[in-house]
Structure 1
C-alpha cells in the first residue's frame, strides 16, 4: 500500500509534518518521499506544480489520487485505513466533537504563529511595521494562553481531545512543536510544555522529527519572551 504513495515535503513545515505523523500512525512506512527545499523554491518546481497547482507542500499522491491539503490528507488516510495502525477518530460523541473542535481551532493557532515567525518572509520590507508585528505577537500570546487553559482543564498526561491520541494531536502538535523550537518557555506555559514533552516521545513524532532540527538541536529564540 505505502509503495503506491508519494509525499513531496519540506523539513520544518507543520503542514508536511502533519501528514508524516498520520502516515506513521497508520503504519504506512515505506512510502516514496522527496525532501524539497523552500529556500531554493523547489516547492514551485514543475514536479510539484504538476500535482499541486498552488505550488505548496505537502503534495501527496496515493495511486492516482492526489490530496494536497494537509488536513484533507490526514482525514483521507484515517478513512482509507481505518483498521490499520492506530485509530485516530474516537467513537464517543463528546470525544469526537472535542477532537474536531481542537483540530479546526488548530488552523487559527497555526495562522497566528506564522504571522509572527514568518513575518519577514511574507511581508515585503516596505510594508513592515513594528506595530503590526507587536499586534501579531499579542494575538499569538492570547492564543497560547487559550491552549494552555484547554490542557489545564483536561488534566495531566492528556492529549488535546482527552486521554486518547487523535487527529487533533496529529494536526496541531506540529504547530506546538514549532513554537517550542522558536524558544517558547515551558516554565511560562507548563501545560503546553508537558504536552510537548509527552508528544516528543511518541514513535510517530520521533520518526518524523524534522531532519534539520536533528542536525541543529538548538533552534531560534524569537518567541522566548511571549
Structure 2
C-alpha cells in the first residue's frame, strides 16, 4: 500500500511534517517520496505543478488520487487506512468535535507564530511599524495562554484532545515544534513545552524529523525576546 503513495515535501515545513507523521502513524512506512528545496524553487518544478497547480508542498498522490492540502491529506490517510496503525479520529461524536476543533485551531497558532517570528521577512521594510509588531506579539502571547490553558485543563501527561494521541496531535505538533526551534521562552508556554518534550520522541515523529533540524539542531532564538 505504501508503495502506491508518492509524497513531494520540503524540510522546515509544518504542513509537510504533519503529513509525514500521519503516514508513519498509519504504518505506511517506505512510501515513495521526494525532498525538494524551497530555496531552489524546486516545489515549482513541472513534476509538482502537474499535480498541484499552486506549486505548493506537500503534494501527495495515492494511486490515481491527488491530495495536496496537508489537513486534507491527513484526513484522507485516516479514512483510507482507518483500520491500520493508530486510530487518529475517535468514533464518539463529542470526542471527534474536540479533535476537529484543536486541529483547525492549529491554523491560528501557526499564523500568530509567523506574524512575530517572520515579521521582518513577510512585511516590506517601508511598511513595518513597531506598533504592528507589538500588537502581533500581544496576540501571540494571548494565543499561547489559550493553548497552555487547554493542556492545563486536560491534566498532566495528556495529549491535545485527551488521553490518546489523535489527529489533533498529528497536525499541531509540528507547529509546537517550531515554538521550541525558534526559542520561545518556556515561561511563556510551560505546558506546551512539557507536551513537546513528552511527544517529541514518539516513533512517528522521530522518523519524520526535519533533516535540516538534524543537520543544525541548535535553536534559532527568533522568539527569545517575546
Per the TM alignment, residue 159 of structure 1 is displaced from its structure 2 partner at its CA by 0.3
User: For each residue in 1:168-201, what CA deviation from the matched residue of structure 2 results, as whole angstroms up to 9, or x when unmatched?
Assistant: 0000111100111000122442211110001101
- Counterparts of 1:188 and 1:140, CA distance in 2: 10
User: For each residue in 1:25-82, what CA deviation from the matched residue of structure 2 results, as whole angstroms up to 9, or x when unmatched?
Assistant: 0000111111111111112222221111111111111111110000000000000000
Consecutive unaligned residues of structure 2, counting only runs of 5 or more, are: none
SS of the aligned residue for 2:7 comes to strand
- Counterparts of 2:39 and 2:133, CA distance in 1: 23
Count of aligned residue pairs for this structure pair: 226
SS of the aligned residue for 2:60 comes to strand
2:207 aligned with 1:222, yes or no?
Answer: no
User: For each residue in 1:93-132, what CA deviation from the matched residue of structure 2 results, as whole angstroms up to 9, or x when unmatched?
Assistant: 3221111111111111111112222323332333233322
Q: TM-score, normalised by structure 1?
A: 0.96
- Alignment partner, residue 4 of structure 1: 4
Consecutive unaligned residues of structure 1, counting only runs of 5 or more, are: none
- Counterparts of 2:6 and 2:191, CA distance in 1: 36
Residue pairs, 1:24-103, within 5 angstroms: 24-103=24-103
Structure 1 stretches (4+) deviating beyond 4 angstroms? none
What is the alpha-carbon root mean square deviation over aligned residues? 1.2
